[in-house]
Amino acid sequence: MAKTPSGENAPPKALLEKLFRTAYSIRVFETEGIKLYRQGLIRGYFHPYLGQEGIATGACAALSKGDYIASTHRGHGHCIAWGADIKRMVAELLQKETGYCRGYGGSMHIADITTGNLGANGIVGAGTPLGVGAALAAQVRGSDAVTVTFTTDGATNNGTFMESLNLAAIWNLNFILIIENNQYAVSTPIGDSTRETDLYKRGTAIGVESHLVDGNDPLAVHDLMVEAVKKCRAGQGPILIEARTFRHMGHHVNDPGKYMPEDKLKYYKERDPVDRARNDFIAMGGATAAEIATIEKQVQDEFEEAVEFSKNSPEVSVEEFREFAAVY
């Protein structure tokens, strides 16, 4: 992870700006979203990605149009990093017709197949076989598209984790599996769920190239992903990446997360991925305070506009729903 803060080896400024803008957008979406939840404007479940922004941010920046992602129940960050329209995301959370899923899906099911977003998922671990399936369809099609599934430490103890990674391996699929190891399966610490807490080692056991990366370092995630994507497109997939991170709060908005030790939380908050992206942009990209302030303002305005858009959007139609239901 040696980095050159300046000079010709420094990462391009545009990349550093993109990483910061994305990470900050996720931070704003989740922080402001929680406020809307507390006001009763957002109902149902809401699993914030706070503290984990570095992973989606770094990973998606290494992907291209035509690639696929599959996400988790904690999926807002992946959507945003994938380039989703904040307006349609907020509208979905506000149950509006203009939402990504017309209000039929909600927080845990935002998907946009037109852009290759296979969707968030309410079933822990389910995105792994689905992602492998997308990679298989791409291979059958003769495409070099890469599919990335974001999964969780909790999902690694589900049978489909090994079943699908193994299928990807025997078929040499363009598939990258990123375990976002936030060290808790809801409230159960990873050490209580498995004897081997270095989760990336599970890949090596079945012949899959596997890596560990600091999930709170968006640039490190990005750089590793660039290599992983390159290898996949050269027919050397699949690849497993464990990105270690920590949540900033409990499992969902109504979980105070009291089981998370304070010293550990403090440790990770001091290594905040959004701060990291901002500092990298300043230190390596030479961003000025004014540039930072402009981006932050733009992101905040974008969210506020999305809320206005959603509030003014039409409600769903029960008549249309009945028509929809008739095909079942």
Partner 1 sequence: MREIMYRDALREAIDEEMARNNQVFIIGEGIAERGGSYKVTEGLLAKYGAKRVRDTPIAEAGMIGVGVGAAIAGGRPIVEILYVDFAMLGMDMIVNQAAKFRLMTGGSGSVPFVMRTQGGTGGGVAAQHSQSLEAMFYSVPGLRVVMPSTPADAKGLLKYALRQDDPVMFLEHKHLYMTKGMVPDGEHIVEFGIGDIKREGKDVTIIAWSNMVHRALEAAAELAKQGIEAEVIDPRTLVPLDKQMILKSVAKTKRAVIVQEACRRGGVASDIASIIQAEAFYELDAPVEIVAGLDIPVPFNLVLEKASVPQKDDVIAAARRSLHLDAYALAAE
Residues within the interface to partner 1 (CB under 8 A): 68, 70, 99-105, 109, 111-114, 116, 118-119, 121-123, 126, 128-134, 136-141, 147, 159-160, 163-164, 166-167, 170-171, 324, 328
Nearer to partner 1, 84 or 277 (CB): 84
In the complex, what is the shortest distance from the CB of residue 288 to partner 1, in angstroms, rounded to a whole number? 42
Nearer to partner 1, 16 or 177 (CB): 177
Contacts of 167-172 with C-beta under 8 Å, sequence gap 24+, read 167/129, 167/132, 167/136, 168/132, 168/135, 168/208, 168/237, 168/238, 169/206, 169/207, 169/208, 169/238, 171/136, 171/139, 172/235, 172/236, 172/237, 172/238
Extract the tokens encoding 226: 């660039």
In the complex, what is the shortest distance from the CB of residue 289 to partner 1, in angstroms, rounded to a whole number? 42
Q: Is the Cα torsion angle 262, 263, 265, 270 positive or negative in sign? A: positive
In the complex, what is the shortest distance from the CB of residue 121 to partner 1, in angstroms, rounded to a whole number? 8
Q: Could you give the CA distance from residue 145 to residue 233 in angstroms, rounded to a whole number? A: 7
Start-to-end CA distance of the chain, whole Å, equals: 53
Nearer to partner 1, 123 or 205 (CB): 123
In the complex, what is the shortest distance from the CB of residue 150 to partner 1, in angstroms, rounded to a whole number? 14
In the complex, what is the shortest distance from the CB of residue 132 to partner 1, in angstroms, rounded to a whole number? 5
In the complex, what is the shortest distance from the CB of residue 283 to partner 1, in angstroms, rounded to a whole number? 40
Nearer to partner 1, 2 or 140 (CB): 140
Nearer to partner 1, 39 or 328 (CB): 328
Nearer to partner 1, 2 or 326 (CB): 326
- Check residue 69 and give left, alpha or beta (phi > 0: left; psi -120 to 50: alpha): beta
In the complex, what is the shortest distance from the CB of residue 89 to partner 1, in angstroms, rounded to a whole number? 13
Nearer to partner 1, 23 or 126 (CB): 126
Please report which residue ranges of the chain form alpha helices under DSSP H.
13-38, 53-60, 76-81, 86-93, 127-141, 159-170, 190-193, 201-205, 218-233, 262-269, 273-283, 289-311, 318-326
Q: Is the Cα torsion angle 225, 227, 229, 231 positive or negative in sign? A: negative
Buried b (16+ CB within 10 A) or exposed e, 279-290: ebbbebbebeee
